[in-house]
Amino acid sequence: MKLNALLAMAGAAALAGCFTVGGGGAKESGTTFAADALAPYVESGELPGAISIFYDNGVQETACVGYSDAAAKRPITLDDHFMQCSQTKGFCGVTIAKLVEEGKISLDDPVSKYLPEFKNLTVAEKVKGADGKDMTIVRPAKTVLTIRMTQNHTGGFAFEVPNYTSMGGWARRMPLRSAAAVAAGVPLRFDPGTRDSYSNIGIDIGAAIVEVVTGMRWEDYLKAEVFDPLGMEDSTFRPGEEALETKVEMYDCAKGAPAKWRKDHESMRRPYGDDRVFASAGAGLWTTARDQLKFYKMLMNLGVGENGARILKEETVKNLLAVTTRPDNMGGYSLGLTAPKKDGENEWFGHGGAWGTNCVVNWHKKQLKLWVVQLVGGPRPWDRAVNAAADAFFKAMIDNKGVEAYTGRFE
């Protein structure tokens, strides 16, 4: 497929809603940095389809290139559903931050205050046996697990509970409270708060605490306090048949060859939308680019959605989400979000997902970068190209602002 055909396809996507972003009145930049950078990869079939959004203080470049379903030639749009995987963690972080803000919990509360099964945790530790060989012992944990630790991956948990793929993976077959109880019975990898190790189940434990405190299912609380106020109508843990008909299909990356379609993944087993599926706060939310944009713009705007709905106080976002909540000797991570160790005008925070999705924001400059694909494995040669496109976009916006600053001064 040649570039002219790609541009024609982009026009079709625009008619399907690619360039119509709801809420806030973002002005389209008229630039095509991402579309130009990605065109060769779409033409070769290596990249079936992608959505790229760059936003700079009210000006936005929206690029929907390629297809949600390459075989059916269905153009990718902002309203196509996709599994965002670990980006779900940030949604849990927001609900935790909201309860902290309201004084209903403290980040340094022991998890056992709300979930008693976590009172007597154990740690699996490797030691030298009498014969000098390595052996593993199980001993009582030396430190107390706190809510903070569940959300910033310092709790000592494994990535997931044992045999999680047989339980549907991130399309969970058990309630959050049950998943938390299973995790409480598994020895930790290290004493809470002493190291960091990325963990889906740790985030789920935080969501279970939200359920105890609010008396609501976590997903119902999330809908009432975040989705509904922001107008996120297409985000769900149980997508229906209509939503799945418009989903972005999943593909395996192939080096120098067209990507290969795959039915599903062992970490996200079908069925996705019936009553056997329970919410997973670590990696279970289906959404659309249009909805995801509303959530991340709320974070970028320090708690206020583009529609004016306030979800969190400004200081809550600054202090609990935009900067790390880990000890100084560890990398940056806040509550379900990657975040810098210290605040600064050039710092970004946000999160990515297993199938390649990603969104980060800079609240100082009111900037955002959103990326949607559904890809497994590698290589992903377009990543460098789209990063260069982002750099070019933000530089162009700076240059344009410079021109505007001087326009009319001598009239």
pLDDT at 267: 78
Which of 267 and 392 is assigned the larger pLDDT?
392
Residue 21 lies inside a defined structural domain of this protein: no
If one counts every other C-beta atom within 10 angstroms of the C-beta of residue 64, the result is 29
225 touches 99 (CB < 8 A): no
Mean pLDDT of 295-324: 98
Six-digit token pair at 150? 């569940």
Tell me what the pLDDT averaged over the chain comes to. 90
The CATH number for 157's domain is: 3.40.710.10
pLDDT greater than 90 at residue 51 = yes
Q: What is the pLDDT of residues 248-291, one digit of tens each?
A: 999 999 999 999 999 988 777 777 877 778 899 999 999 999 99
Residues 6 or more apart whose Cβ sits within 8 Å of residue 393: 29, 31, 33, 34, 54, 56, 61
pLDDT greater than 60 at residue 4 = no
The helix/strand/coil state of 23 is coil
Torsion of CA 111, 209, 164, 273, to 10 degrees: 180
pLDDT at 173: 77
Q: For the ranges 130-134, 291-295, 355-359, which has the lowest average pLDDT?
A: 130-134
Residue 367 lies inside a defined structural domain of this protein: no
pLDDT greater than 60 at residue 20 = no
Percentage above 90 pLDDT, the chain: 79
Which of 326 and 23 is assigned the larger pLDDT?
326
Q: What is the pLDDT of residues 57-73, one digit of tens each?
A: 999 999 999 999 999 99
Residue 299 lies inside a defined structural domain of this protein: no
pLDDT greater than 50 at residue 408 = no
Residue 108 lies inside a defined structural domain of this protein: yes
Residue 66 lies inside a defined structural domain of this protein: no
Six-digit token pair at 257? 């060859």
Q: CA 17 → CA 10, 62, 72, distances in Å? A: 11, 11, 19
Residue 86 lies inside a defined structural domain of this protein: yes
Query: Which conformational region is residue 160 in: left (phi greater than 0), alpha (psi within -120 to 50 degrees), or beta?
Result: beta
pLDDT at 168: 67
Q: What is the pLDDT of residues 343-373, one digit of tens each?
A: 999 999 999 999 999 999 999 999 999 999 9
163 touches 173 (CB < 8 A): no
Query: DSSP assignment of 287-325, as one string?
Result: EEHHHHHHHHHHHHTTSB-TTS-B-S-HHHIIIIISS--
Query: DSSP assignment of 221-279, as one string?
Result: HHIIIIIHHHT-TT-BSS--HHHHHTBPPEEE--TTS--EEES-BTTBPSP-SSTT-B-
Domain boundaries, position 172: 80-246+270-287+306-338
pLDDT at 132: 83
pLDDT at 86: 97
pLDDT greater than 90 at residue 50 = yes
Confidence of residue 22 (pLDDT cuts 50, 70, 90): very low
In terms of DSSP bridges, do strands 250-252 and 375-376 run parallel, antiparallel, or are they unpaired?
Answer: parallel
Residue 357 lies inside a defined structural domain of this protein: no
pLDDT greater than 50 at residue 8 = no
pLDDT greater than 90 at residue 405 = no
Separation between Cα atoms, residue 254 and residue 163, nearest integer Å: 29
pLDDT greater than 90 at residue 324 = yes
Number of domains in the chain: 1
What are residue 230's phi and psi, to 5 degrees? -85, -10
What are the residues facing 338 on neighbouring strands? 350
Residue 73 lies inside a defined structural domain of this protein: no
- Using a 10 angstrom Cβ sphere, with 0-12 exposed, 13-18 middle and 19 or more buried, the burial of residue 409 is exposed
pLDDT at 10: 45
Q: What is the pLDDT of residues 164-221, one digit of tens each?
A: 766 666 677 789 999 999 999 999 999 999 999 999 999 999 999 999 999 999 999 9
Please state the separation of Cα 366 from the chain's center in Å. Answer: 19
